[in-house]
Structure 1
Amino acid sequence: MIKRFLLLLVILIAGCAPKYPVTGPPKDPLPGTFFSSADESLSHKELASAMKGNDFILIGESHNNPCDHKVQAGIIEEMSRTGKSFALGLEMVSVDRQDILDRFNKGLIDVDNLREMLHWDESWGFDYELYRMIFETSRKYSVPVFALNVPREITRNISRHGMESLSFEEKTFLPENIIYPPHEQVEILERQFEFHQDMIQADEPYFQRFIAAQSVWDTKMASEAIRIHKDRQEPVVILSGTMHVKKGYGIEHRLRSLMPHARVTSIVPVRSLEMITSDNPYHFFCPPVRSGMRLGIVASEEDGQVMVTGVVKGSLAENAGLEKHDEIVKVDGKHISSMADLHHAAVNAAQGDREMVMEVLRNGRKEFINIRLMRAMPATQ
């Protein structure tokens, strides 16, 4: 949600499907190594044992990091091998698509067809192949999978127009009680907001709408997880972005507000050992997705139009000649009506190691912008 708040389309080229291994400096541990908050390394079995007795296990991720998803799948597998049943809840899927997951859980839909059935590309936007091993592991060990979130259009409308703009049908997806972030987190978000305020051209009412949208997002995940836990009488493993897991903010804050005696633990990825803190009980190391190539478009999406509201200085977009107030109409001949469309077009161009041809409207005139995108190379080169 924080990335959506910034509206900064900084696409890490090939980050959604890297073709090369990424290695860190020699002092880095092996990818997938687990650590306690005391910086002590843990085996897979030790971590799985530590998960026992918890009602909710939160596992963070960077959505475009393949190592993070491999570790998540490994945790699911190791927990399954203990013989204790649990459910899996996903930030990535909205509750209106639970019927699809129900059919998947019954074996009526296979992993290959799940992407299309869930409208994954349109609703989530990050490469399905990064998540494939999670669904495959869930299928292998008969771990039931559940949707946790509201349809994205709802939080998008709240961010733009406020809670009062929601239709009656949209309001039916809202949690019964919306829990706002703790004061300490609001202060952090305020500092981030002030830093980016000029770039995103937002004011204080926008910030308050953003807080409301994020609160709906996190509260819905927590309330759905509690419902699943009570219905099934078993733990729920929750996969979500790290910002919804770190420091006990986000989902955990809502879980403890709604279910004060809940036993909650969390595991978050770190990109270096220096990032290990006592704020989270468990961590795993995965190197960052390396690229160095930034598209650098600050954009807004409104009624099927993607408008450029700013261009990052020194970025590929600026160097190619993209300008503020340009409307992005097509990329490589395909119509662009959402940020997800633009994301997919950039990733496809990067994977093909070719130029992205962008058609824009500028002051009523058609212009063509060519941006050369390249795959990420190994960090050691």
Structure 2
Amino acid sequence: MFVFLTMAIALASAPATASCPAPGQWITPEGAERGVDELFSELADSKVVLLGEQHARWEHQRWQLHTLAGLHARRPDMVIALEMLPRQAQPALNAWVAGELDEATFLKRSDWRGSWGHDYEAYMPILHFARMHRVPVLAVNIDRALHSRLTVEGWDAVSEGQRYRITAPVPAPDAYRARLRAVYAAHPSASHADHHFERFIAGQLVWDRVLAAGLAEAASDGALVVGLMGRGHVEYGHGVPHQLADLGITDSRMLLPWDANEDCRTLQEGVAHAVFGIAAGEQHEPPRPTLLGVFIEASEAGVLVLDIASDSVAERAGLESGDVITHAAGQRLRETGDLVSLVRRQMPGTVLPLTVLRDERETEILARFPVHSD
């Protein structure tokens, strides 16, 4: 899923608040402080609460966990909905919450590494919280293949059963299109052709509608549904909240974490119902994960390389788009998660041997992982 660059993009028409929240403080975007008891009592009366995040910021997942705990204390009939997993992972989530799986088995059965490109460790405290309190956890996303079909072929080309009876999205508000235009233009591979931008818009609307449909279905049972997702789906009510309103839920509440080093001028009216101040600094984050620098998907022969990140380990090793990685460190690769798991275990300063199928011929490539500079 495309990573939103929203914090670098301000809407000139939206007034900014005078100050950012201090660490540990809840405020409205207009700058008014919110007491925890009053705010959480209001949230507990909602049908849907959305907790936005930057996926790679572990402090954001920690904030989500504490917010979930506060909401659960007021509404034990709570459901947690995850952007991170497609609907096929629901049996694994059910078994996890029921206490039937250990972490390794859950990660394997849910295909977490193949479905989500961010560290599972950041989300495990949330999943342990859900299991401890027997809070249902729902996978409300779809896999990349279905997302691609809906984006490229259109909703009418995919049967209702194949798309989980999710209906087509309503058009994006003009302000959302403007934000997405800025995000799209900032992407290195962006094309200036209008039809490419419209395809990008269509892809974002698929994500928004899919997530909204899962949230709305869960809310129909009367529980408080708390959705965890990227902040770009939440901000200004343009993404998921806009689609929720079309599905009959017009009072969803939007909460965001706000890092202390963010520009207060980007804290604008309407970005969320409340924001929470978080201390900035790399000392609150784990070491940067080891990355190969490839965009991949599963194939019959192994793991297909779709694209290569510039100045990456993969580029320096000589990997190319279209390569199929069949083995890594002598291990047969049957799914994308197999490769992700091996790369994540790779230490700086080491080498990972890769067997690559290129033009119907096998070749050996050595991926060298550099030592991180201080």
| Residue 371 of structure 1 pairs with residue 363 of structure 2 | no
TM-score (norm: length of structure 1): 0.74
Contact residue 21 and residue 258 of structure 2 kept, 8 A: no
Aligned to 1:87: 79
* Kept after mapping to 1: 8 A contact 2:48/2:227: yes
TM-fit CA distance, 1:63: 2.4
* SS at structure 1 position matched to 2:46: coil
Q: CA deviation at 1:228?
A: 1.7
> What is the CA–CA distance in structure 1 between the aligned matches of 2:35 and 2:367, rounded to whole Å?
49
Structure 1: distance between partners of 2:102 and 2:184: 39
Structure 2 distance, partners of 1:60, 1:123, is 19
Tell me the alpha carbon deviations over residues 309-351 of structure 1, each in whole angstroms, 9 at most, x when there is no partner.
4542x55555x2536546252443445676655544432225x
Cα RMSD after superposing both structures: 3.8
Alignment of 1:144-163 (within 5 A): 144-159=136-151, 163=155
Number of the residue aligned with 2:61: 69
Q: Is the 8 A contact 2:87 2:140 kept in 1?
A: yes
Matched residue, 2:215: 225
When residues 324 and 189 of structure 1 are mapped into structure 2, their CA distance, relative to the original with a 3 A threshold, is: farther
User: More relative contact order in 1 or in 2 (CA 8 Å, sep 6+)?
Assistant: 1
Conserved 8 A contact 2:155-2:168? no
The yes-or-no answer on 1:258 pairing with 2:221 is no
Distance 2:61 2:108 in 1: 20
Shift in Å, 1:238: 0.8
Pick from 304, 307, 323 the counterpart of residue 305 of structure 2. Answer: 307
Amino acid at match of 2:224: P
How is 1:138-177 mapped onto 2 (pairs within 5 angstroms)?
138-159=130-151, 163=155, 166=158, 169-171=161-163, 173-177=164-168
User: What is the CA distance between 1:166 and its match in structure 2?
Assistant: 4.3
Q: How many residues align?
A: 346
Partners of 2:371 and 2:149 in 1: CA distance: 34
Instruction: Confirm whether residue 354 of structure 1 aligns to residue 344 of structure 2.
Output: no
Taking a change above 3 Å as real, the CA distance of residues 344 and 102 of structure 1, as seen in their structure-2 partners, is closer
Alignment deviations for residues 264-283 of structure 1 (CA, whole Å, 9 cap, x no partner): 21112233342533221222
Residue aligned with 1:349, SS? coil
Q: Would you say 1:248 and 2:237 are equivalent positions?
A: yes
Whether 1:235 aligns to 2:217 is no
Shift of 1:194: 3.8
| Farther-moved stretch of structure 1 (239-248 vs 322-331) | 322-331
Q: How far has the Cα of 1:196 moved from its partner?
A: 3.2
Q: Is the 8 A contact 1:58 1:265 kept in 2?
A: yes
Provide the C-alpha distance between the structure 2 equivalents of 1:362 and 1:101, rounded to a whole number of angstroms: 37
Give the conservation status (yes or no) of the 8 Å contact 1:326–1:360.
Answer: no
Residue 54 (1) aligns with residue 46 (2): yes
Which residue of structure 1 aligns with residue 110 of structure 2?
Answer: 118
* Alpha-carbon shift at residue 57 of structure 1 (Å): 0.6
* 2:356 is equivalent to residue 332 of structure 1: no
CA distance in 2, matches of 1:183, 1:340: 38
The aligned counterpart of 2:187 is 196
Q: Does the CA contact (< 8 Å) of 1:294 and 1:315 recur in 2?
A: no
Aligned match for 1:132, one of 124, 128, 133: 124
State how far apart, in whole Å, the 1-side matches of 2:319 and 2:345 are. 23
In the alignment, is the contact (CA less than 8 A) between 2:47 and 2:224 conserved in 1?
Answer: yes
Checking the alignment, whether the CA contact within 8 Å between 2:21 and 2:275 is kept in structure 1 is no
Deviations 1:181-209 (A, max 9, x none): 22222233234334436x36796545434
Over the matched positions of the two proteins, sequence identity in percent amounts to 21
Is structure 2 residue 3 aligned with structure 1 residue 3?
A: yes
Contact 1:125 1:344 in 2 (8 A): no
What CA distance in whole angstroms lies between the structure 2 residues aligned with 1:141 and 1:192? 39
d(CA) in 1 for partners of 2:61 and 2:219? 23
In the alignment, structure 1 segments of 5+ residues that lack a partner are 5-26
Residue of structure 2 in register with 1:180 after alignment:
171
- Counterpart CA distance in 1 for 2:26 and 2:162 is 40
- 1:196-215 pair list within 5 angstroms: 196=187, 199=189, 204-215=194-205
Q: Match of 1:251, as an amino acid?
A: V
Contact 1:306/1:336 (<8 A) preserved: no
Cα distance between partner residues in 2 of 1:158 and 1:174: 13
In structure 1, the partner of 2:256 is 268
In 2, Cα distance between equivalents of 1:325 and 1:84: 49
